[in-house]
Structure 1
Amino acid sequence: MVRTFSELDLDVDLLAAIETKGYSRPTEIQAKAIPAAMDGLDVLASAPTGTGKTAAFLLPTLQHLIDFPRRKPGPARVLILTPTRELAIQIADEARELAANTDLKVFTITGGISYDEHAEILGKTQDLVVATPGRLMEYINAERFDCRAIECLVLDEADRMLDMGFGPIVDKLSHECRWRRQTLLFSATLEGKGVHGFTEDLLNEPERIEASPSRRERKKIHQWYYRCDDMDHKIQLLEHVLKSDESERTIIFLKTRERLAELREKLDSMQIPCCWLQGEMAQSARNNTIERFKSGKVNIMLATDVAARGIDIPDISHVINFDLPRTADVYLHRIGRTARAGKKGSAVSLVEAHDQAMMERIGRYMKEPVKERFVEEMKPKHKKPAFAVKKKKKKPMPGAARKAKKSS
């Protein structure tokens, strides 16, 4: 296992930038993906938020640009596609920080920016471009962006791009970049037919990598759950957590937009201010929500899983699962939004009787159970449901083996 960034054969300028950013040692996804990408392999990687995946694809692509410097000015050589403008800006900012000691030029092409501003960018030499699929396709169709020089194509949050309906556009962009040498695809999960449909067409015999937050990282997140009798009891416990001294900046996850709207009204009636992110929001509304939350004007944000993908907000003190997710890997993805950059955080789940089986599955998935807590004056009245662990049935021995055992 790679223990230091210096073991990764990275350029001294990149190592100096890594030190400036305060990265001490590679995360699991970085230790696995960077060597594979630097060997020129296509990479298919699964990594939830908070595992360092952005640097896992930026460092090898920047290293490639350093190893093979351009001979003359021209269009971009590395293209990173991402589903949202916020994520594109975050990736570009990190790319500039990592490339701070080089002459490499990093640009973004996203919605919400005027054509004139982009025209100025597109007229310059670009080394690495981070783009959202829809806006980039507009420029390609208008013959304003040239994909023929792209050597490496990166897809970040590929599963969310599919959720947002970008699949056909990504296929077209892949065709436009058909002269590339390498493709790196990163996704929160590799499950589901959609991502597999993506990967067959885009990748060539990829190195498959799956990473989850290390147990050491998870130890920084205090996880527990409260059992709830009904919705009223659930709201009381939520209010208790939100009004605790330790609750500073909190994301509350819900499973649907309808559930989010109901809780929003409830918090409003309780005079608890909140903002929210949900699917099919206008970009300006999303930007406004994220800005209010980041600036501290509002310290509680309600979100659905799809809407919250790709946003990286620092200093989240609490993640609250008002509704449990449908799968255990999404639980990990959610709680990874707290305890970032060496800080500690809390992950609280509000569990009704019908959720208990999922809580048990989450514990098995993480190989350690999530502890139950009680608020003395709000203890649940119902008994905790018990679930028997299914024993694996022994396969019958083949006839010859049975006879041999009897005769022995």
Structure 2
Amino acid sequence: MGEQKLKTVPVLPWMRSPVDVNLFEECPLHLLPCLDSRLKVALQNMGISSLFPVQVAVWQEAIGPGAFERDLCIKSPTGSGKTLAYALPIVQMLSTRAVKCLRALVVLPTRDLAFQVKEVFAAIAPAVGLSVGLAVGQSSIADEISELINRPKLEAGICYDPEDLSPELQSSVDILVATPGRLMDHINNTKGFTLEHLCYLVVDETDRMLREAYQSWLPTMLQLTRSNDESFYPRALDVIPSTFNSLKTIRRFGVERGFKGKPSPRLVKMVLSATLTQDPSKLVQLDLHHPLFLTTGQKRYQFPEKLESYKLICESKLKPMYLVALLQNLGGEKCIVFTSSVESTHRLCTLLNFFDDLQIKIMEYSGLQRQSVRSKTLKAFREGDIQVLVSSDAMTRGMDVEGVRNVINYDMPAYIKTYIHRAGRTARAGQTGRCFTLLNEDGVRRFTKLLQKADNKSCPVYSIPSSSVESLRSIYTSALEKLKERVGLETSRKHKIGFKSSRARKENERNHHSKK
């Protein structure tokens, strides 16, 4: 047998000597150095009494001796607390200077993840007088502009230069959480929206953000945030009369983007992912400054510490029956069932709800739904009104739902990264959790190879008594007939809508030509 050729992956020099997050221990809030007392209270109100290792490690490099001298590149398993790891030091740093302008930006790939991150910031930022905005495209851009941009009123009794009587546009938020597409909308179209004062940039789920172009958001944004040659102090105060308000001064001369006494320092960047890429050609796009790599151990792919993985062997034609039997075995525990596509998600959820007397509340969650529907479904799932969520991979990245005990791969993921992000919806924050993958005999070998990429060799078979499966056969046959009928009705409805749209379009074209 010839020697197997190992695929060598080029690694940047700074990634070869990482800081091992595992060397840090949980730290009670009262022992965390330099923590603002107001933030301590806010964290306690969130039920947080100590910080996880990754949060302590980042705090050390941001607020502690590191003092944000280097950009931070963080790879840590799902559920380890990465969001608070960057939110807390950013809020603390911004609280030291009372200037109202956009100074921190967090960019994420999906609306749902952006909502979640915004909630974390919103729980701590107001405690130190900071405001947080959201730009994700859920509402109209006009509504977002009214939330993000403020027009200050002219103060009575002050003499202004006629040139300065036009309404000033100022940021209403200190921190903005955004998706890249809507961020570009504001950059290109929103008057008063500026990144010139930005101090901190966070790129969450970095590997996905670098894989998709999103209207070239990254090069555009980096170009706009190059350090301004103008500094705020002392030249601005020498020129501007004391009667001018601070907003006028900020607008005309810019804000000192500094820390540690430096007038115009670089933009500090933090990039994070549970499956952070090592591809130099991708990482170089971030223009990182002397980056420091924080990671948990030397493995490229890592599972949550208390995750148990199982494979469930079944016949392909009977897979829905095995899934129902598994859900019954789990006794109503909170579960997420992942499929390979939004269409599969819709059909599987519809089928499961045709199983009579299941006594389990099941809903779907996918990109086919409107954002308002997804938000309502997620809220019900968080509150326990729904026990099972059938989802496409819209939920794989970063979503944190407390109490998810089980993840079920109804369709085996094609990539180890997808498996890791799916499995990471459970066993979060030190809790236990299980990940089940339904497989036919032919899929077992491929699945084993998939797990080997993460050095995971422990994935026992989960057995379900054949009697439990067979007892569902008649119900399954009935459910399948109902599904066929439902699919036929939905297909017919789509055809009618498509026909009406086509007819209306042709009518508009005829009217247009007749007017000519």
TM-score (norm 2): 0.63
In the alignment, which of 57, 67, 89 is matched to residue 32 of structure 1?
57
- CA deviations 1:211-258 (Å, max 9, x no partner) are 489999633x44422222x21343222111112353332211123345
State the partner residue of 2:127: 101
State the partner residue of 1:372: 461
- The amino acid across from 2:54 in the alignment is I
2:45 aligned with 1:45, yes or no? no
1:257-276 → structure 2 map (5 Å cutoff): 257-270=342-355, 274-276=362-364
Give the Cα separation in 2 of the matches to 1:292 and 1:83: 23
Give the Cα separation in 2 of the matches to 1:270 and 1:192: 46
State the partner residue of 1:173: 221
| CA distance 1:186–1:28, change in 2 (3 Å) | same
| Contact 1:318–1:345 (CA under 8 A) maintained in structure 2 | yes
Give the Cα separation in 1 of the matches to 2:123 and 2:383: 22
Q: Which runs of 5+ in 1 are unaligned?
A: 381-408
- The amino acid across from 1:183 in the alignment is K
Give the Cα separation in 1 of the matches to 2:49 and 2:454: 28
Give the Cα separation in 2 of the matches to 1:110 and 1:140: 13
Give the Cα separation in 1 of the matches to 2:75 and 2:303: 19
Q: Give the drift of 1:34.
A: 3.1
| Contact 1:248–1:318 (CA under 8 A) maintained in structure 2 | yes
| CA distance 1:94–1:367, change in 2 (3 Å) | same
Alpha carbon RMSD of aligned pairs, Å?
3.4
In the alignment, which of 359, 375, 381 is matched to residue 448 of structure 2?
359
SS at match of 2:421: helix
2:89 aligned with 1:64, yes or no? no
Q: Give the drift of 1:81.
A: 1.4
- The amino acid across from 1:138 in the alignment is D
SS at match of 1:365: coil
1:313-328 → structure 2 map (5 Å cutoff): 313-328=401-416
Give the Cα separation in 2 of the matches to 1:304 and 1:190: 22
| Contact 2:302–2:420 (CA under 8 A) maintained in structure 1 | no
| CA distance 1:279–1:196, change in 2 (3 Å) | farther
Give the Cα separation in 1 of the matches to 2:119 and 2:350: 36
| Contact 1:322–1:349 (CA under 8 A) maintained in structure 2 | yes
- CA deviations 1:94-122 (Å, max 9, x no partner) are 11323353222222233123424532442
Give the Cα separation in 2 of the matches to 1:217 and 1:25: 19
In the alignment, which of 290, 294, 303 is matched to residue 209 of structure 1?
294
- CA deviations 1:179-199 (Å, max 9, x no partner) are 352111122322375x95254
Identity over aligned residues, as a percent? 28
Q: Which runs of 5+ in 2 are unaligned?
A: 1-22, 151-170, 228-265, 470-516
1:108-187 → structure 2 map (5 Å cutoff): 108-114=134-140, 115-116=142-143, 118-123=145-150, 125-141=172-188, 142-162=190-210, 165-166=213-214, 168-179=216-227, 180-187=266-273
Pick which of 294-303 and 47-56 moved more: 294-303
2:305 aligned with 1:218, yes or no? yes
Pick which of 368-377 and 234-243 moved more: 368-377
Give the Cα separation in 1 of the matches to 2:332 and 2:284: 41
Q: Give the drift of 1:329.
A: 4.3
Give the Cα separation in 1 of the matches to 2:172 and 2:436: 48
State the partner residue of 1:234: 319
- The amino acid across from 1:156 in the alignment is D
Computing the radius of gyration from Cα coordinates, the structure with the larger value is 2
TM-score (norm 1): 0.78
SS at match of 1:147: coil
| CA distance 1:200–1:138, change in 2 (3 Å) | closer
- The amino acid across from 2:97 in the alignment is P
Q: Give the drift of 1:131.
A: 1.9
| Contact 1:319–1:337 (CA under 8 A) maintained in structure 2 | yes
State the partner residue of 2:39: 14
State the partner residue of 2:275: 189
SS at match of 1:359: helix
- The amino acid across from 1:137 in the alignment is M
2:24 aligned with 1:2, yes or no? yes
Give the Cα separation in 2 of the matches to 1:138 and 1:338: 35
- The amino acid across from 2:424 in the alignment is G
- CA deviations 1:13-35 (Å, max 9, x no partner) are 33443344333543343233333
Q: Give the drift of 1:379.
A: 10
| Contact 2:147–2:172 (CA under 8 A) maintained in structure 1 | no
State the partner residue of 2:156: none
Give the Cα separation in 1 of the matches to 2:207 and 2:425: 18
| CA distance 1:125–1:377, change in 2 (3 Å) | closer
Kindly tell me the number of residue pairs found equivalent between the two proteins. Answer: 374
- The amino acid across from 1:31 in the alignment is V
2:340 aligned with 1:255, yes or no? yes
| CA distance 1:335–1:101, change in 2 (3 Å) | same
| CA distance 1:378–1:203, change in 2 (3 Å) | farther
Give the Cα separation in 1 of the matches to 2:147 and 2:215: 29
1:383-398 → structure 2 map (5 Å cutoff): none
Q: Give the drift of 1:8.
A: 5.2
State the partner residue of 1:390: none
Q: Give the drift of 1:265.
A: 4.9
